[in-house]
Structure 1
């Protein structure tokens, strides 16, 4: 599982997907979410604006698993 470090209290899911190099554009993030390929903490997620906090886990089918980490 790869750690992705954020520099604020939270990050929106679509921004996280770009930061983690899962997608390169917001449109690609939207498509990925609509196809049901993203799980947040084990639950399917379709909301691009879902706020992720340190400790949240994101799984993207065929790409990998990530953990949100807070810069300390």
Structure 2
């Protein structure tokens, strides 16, 4: 059984958000879209606010990013 603490969970989510944003930035260079720019900005916002989450349950940032 693997047990995650807040620091590990935050690091995993931060890496996932970073990788998603990097992919969108790369794809947007090839084919510029307004939707991609909105998603890129949302991912950056989620990354900035991630450290403010008070608990692992409050980490809805991953879900918001996936929806974007």
| TM-score for both structures, normalised by structure 1 | 0.32
Choose between structure 1 and 2: higher helix proportion: 2
TM-score normalised by L of structure 2: 0.33
Q: Radius of gyration: which is bigger?
A: 2
